[in-house]
Amino acid sequence: MRYGDDFVIFLNIEKQANKAKDISTKWLFDTLKLNIHIKNNVIIKAKYGLHFLGHWIYPTSNIVIDSNMANKIVRDINSRNASSYGAMYLTKRQKRQLSWLLKDI
């Protein structure tokens, strides 16, 4: 899963995940001269959930936007970032609120 310069790789086997981590980290450095921060280069079990771009993602439930991100959207929305916020996984209530916020811009 990718959004801009953020990405997540999902694999079923830990050994494959470690190999994918090593390969992708090396490729990003060798090809693009990018270093991945150690706190963001982790392998976790999906059952614990993943916090990614202001959302909590779990394998057995809906995606949930965290309250900090919801507040940030309301506080920071403008005509330049509206399409990015609109592409996020929002509840129906949040999408309605977003459309009203955009009318005020």
Report residue 103's pLDDT band, with 50, 70 and 90 as the boundaries: low
pLDDT top residue among 101 and 27: 27
Q: What are phi and psi of 3, to 5 degrees?
A: -145, 110
List the chain domain ranges.
Answer: 1-43, 45-105
Distance CA 24, CA 81 (A): 29
Q: What is the pLDDT of residues 42-91, one digit of tens each?
A: 998 888 888 888 888 888 877 888 888 888 887 888 878 877 777 777 77
The residue count for the chain:
105
Beta strands in 15-79 (DSSP E): 50-52, 55-57, 64-65
pLDDT score recorded for residue 75: 82
